[in-house]
A and B are shown apart, each in its own frame.
Chain A
Amino acid sequence: MGELEDLRRRVAELEQRLHTVQTQAETVEREAALQMARALDLNARLSVILSLSAALPNSRDVDTVVRLIIRETATLFPGTSATHFFLVDHERNTLVLRASDKPNMLITHPMQGLAGKAILSPRAMLLVGPELELALNDLEPEHLAELRHSMREWPPQSALIAPLRVDSQRFGAIVLYGGVHAHLYHPRDIPFIQALADLAAVSIDELNQRTRAAALQRDLALTQSLHAEAEARLNTAQAQLLQSAKLAAVGELSASVAHEINNPLYAARNSLYLVEQDLAADDPQRAFLTIAQQELGRIARIITRMRDFYRPTRAELASTSINVLLRETLELVQTHLRHSHINAVTELGSDIPAIIAHADQLRQVFLNIILNACDAMPDGGDLRVRTRMLQARHEAPTTIEIDICDTGAGIPPEHLPHLFEPFYTTKTHGTGLGLAISAHIISQHNGRILVESEVCQGSTFSILLPTNLST
């Protein structure tokens, strides 16, 4: 009996142990299945991350990156009820929702709520319970209402947030709201959202850099072409100036030579005339006299042509507005004025009539005098350009007065009488022709140039042009 009892007890014991072992085996089996499921899950997630990291560098714009990320979050994080992708608008200091898993949703709000928290956090975070509630309540009521309206599940049970940052630069945030079937995110999800955010951040940063580089490249090309254009224009202008200065010098020279020849020519021709008076009509020498007279006549004609070369012909004369010419000239030198810190003021009379004149030559005169004024003000100053009508008496002819005043160094009295002489200059690099040519041009227009100057006070060049020009 005792033996039977003993056997029964042992059987029960063994059954008991078998049961325990069975339970243990089940537990181990469940655990193995769980681990297997996790491994599969991890594998799936890793392959998503890998395919993203392969696809993102080929994306051509930020929107494509954002769309790819949004699409993959559904695979990576099951139970997600909403995915929000924010980018910072640095100018307005706000967050702009660039994409979500719902189309046509647009949220803009200051750095508040989960996105605000995400952008400020150093790394990805999991928010649950009171922490999540607190972050949501951080939003302005209208923003909260907007958010609530946009979500299927409310309130969210948990959330994953991650900043988009490269080095110390923050430019956005990813926010995932969990909540479908009361699903809770797990701390295991944090490295994945971090990886996703980092991938997105690097891609967007690279795209931004590329855009910026392209813009810089464009700017550079534009600047270069503008520079080349300006240089070409400057070269042309300089060549023209040089050419006209040379021409003027040649003209000045030929005019003075022509004038100097007139006296001897006059004496020689009329000497022959006086000799001719005393010569008998049939004198054989008369033939030579005639030749000499004809040849001197030829010289006279050559001299006249030479002298006329320097004078504007009638064809070049046209109706000209002095005010328009002055404005054009000032526009021509405005960069120069700005660089020299010269403040130009114009007082152009409204009653200045158009005159018959050689516009290019007058422009050269104004340019000469204005540039001289600039040279007299190396440390900046005021340039005043004024036009007005003058009339001595009621019936007298009218004159246009053009005053160009500077507040520069002034002209020492000993230089004043020589100002308009050719090749007279006080500048190191001056040709001494500018004012000589100017005076010549103005006198060709029957006008006059007057100078008033006081050392250390400034100079005023006044050009007087009659309105009834006849050259």
Chain B
Amino acid sequence: MPPWQIQICDDDPAAALITQRGLQTLLGENYTVTVASSPNAAWLACAHGNVDLLIVDPGAGSGSASALVRAMHAFRPTTPILVLTAYDTPGLRTKMRDLGVSYYAAKPIDLKELLPIVLAALQTVPMPNAFPSRMSVYH
């Protein structure tokens, strides 16, 4: 069993696959990256396994993803959460911050930019700009 376990929750299959394959490739064999297509499945994985990081996309309707974040805080308070969303708005950012999320990135982010955020989250290192004040723009 590899020492590090990363759980992805994303209902967009292609995006979820790329996050999973990309992180797996970049992080190497010491990490296991798995995908759950719904917050429910992600919660099952987190509740029963030793998940070290949850990467979640709240999607268009952020209701059930918010419930997942709340449940994680209640029952797995030590597991860091990274919100990686295609639906970035100032409102969502505030909401996630209010729910206690410390790491936040907006798609379409480059994997090479996502990697340092993931690593920081895994070590629970606070990042100065974990919450960008503007949406990230690709140059």
Contact = CB atoms under 8 A, between A and B. Distances in A.
B91 A267 contact: no
B12 interface: yes
Specify the main secondary structure of chain A where it touches its partner. Answer: helix
- Contact-size category for A: 20 to 34
Interface stretch (B16-24, B28-36, B116-124): B16-24
Interface in A260-295: 260, 262-267, 269-271, 273-274, 277
B110 A259 contact: no
A304 B25 contact: no
A266 B107 contact: yes
B40 interface: no
A274 B25 contact: yes
Interface string B79-119: 00000001111110010000000000011111110000000
Contacts of A264: 14-15
Contact of B18 (A259, A271, A301, A443): A271
A309 to B, nearest CB: 13
A470 interface: yes
Interface string B2-18: 00000000001011011
Nearest to A307: B135
A297 B22 CA distance: 18
B86 A443 contact: no
Interface residues of B, number: 29
Q: Which of A256, A263, A444 has the most CB of B within 10 A?
A: A263
B129 interface: no
B75 interface: no
B60 interface: yes
Contacts of B18: 266-267, 270-271, 274
A273 B135 contact: no
B106 to A, nearest CB: 8
A266 B137 contact: no
A471 B90 contact: yes
B14 A273 contact: no
B48 interface: no
Interface of B: 12, 14-15, 17-19, 21-22, 25, 60, 86-91, 94, 106-112, 133, 135, 137-139
A-B residue pairs, 10 tightest by C-beta:
A443-B91, A262-B86, A266-B108, A266-B107, A267-B14, A265-B108, A263-B12, A263-B15, A300-B138, A262-B107
